[in-house]
Structure 1
Amino acid sequence: MKIIDIIQTNNNNEFLHEELIELNEGWSFYALLKLNSSIFVGWLINDDLLIVNGDGIFLYDIESKNIIMEDYESNFKKNLSTDNLKYSLKERDENIDVFGLRGGGGNLLTIENDWKLEIINIHNNYKIPRLMNYKTRKSWFFELHEISYDGYMYCGFSKTQKYFLVMGDQGINVFKRNF
């Protein structure tokens, strides 16, 4: 069943008259990371991205859009805090806040309180990410690229808040601020 079918069959749904759109007003799709079954992710200080999935540990360079480190051998649990909220990345000498299946929630509000991210469960585990501008109160229910709208989904802004991501069980979509 498609999201639009679910939206149209539920008369009381707030999404009934909304369309899934490409973001605008300063945000756009930036990159797709096809790494299935991510367990958790974390933003580094420079907005690079730590990704841990069932296959290994990866470091994604946000500027070059390339995976710059792959480790298929290490046990990620040895560098994960006991509360699942921090990951110690020895290669960068950095403790990273992590979120996902293991970890906390991502940063859902920008520092200036202009932008808010959330995942809305519209029906029976079908979810739509929403970006809201707090100043204008305008919201966007936006399209994901090659990621399903069902299953688990997490989101969060980067440290500099120039980026945000939506992580699902089929990969990660990264979006960029254009201003």
Structure 2
Amino acid sequence: MSSSTSALVIALVGIIGTLASALLTQRSASSNTLRELERADQQRREERGHQTKQAIVEARRSCYVALNIAARLYQTALTNYLIAIRSGAVTDEIRIDVDEMRRGHRARDAEAQMLVPDDVLIAAGKVNSHLSILYGILRRLDLGEPEPGETIEMAAELRVGTWELLAAMRTIMRRDLGIAP
């Protein structure tokens, strides 16, 4: 091999090496960029997932607060109704208050049915059922048309039992939110 041929081969190898080096560098940079984009995309997905979970927890918390308040206000209105029936001092204002609290509780209960898990829904259903039964008894007593066995004492006992159901519902709600063990 002549010196000019050797020089030409060496030059070609040098040029090919330089071009290959540039291509490999570009390919490595592209690969690194792609991995960075994939990591950033994964991080965005994780953040979105976390934000979604937080939004669900906040929606439940708001729902629980509203349902708990509505149930307690309804229970208080029924207590006032019971006291008024017992003393013979029922007024239209008391009846209107009970009806408003009843409607408010029913609305919050309906909202909860779309948001809360089954264990909370079961506890809320027990409270709702208990309050509805108490309301029916008090209403019939107020109208002077009680069913057999319905007395003011029976209504008073039922009212006390409702507080226990409210406490149980609140405990389940708090557990669902991670507040209680």
Which has more strand, going by share of residues? 1
TM-score range for the pair, normalised by the shorter chain length: under 0.3
Provide TM-score, normalisation by structure 1: 0.25
* Structure with max Cα Rg: 2
Provide TM-score, normalisation by structure 2: 0.25
Which has more helix, going by share of residues? 2
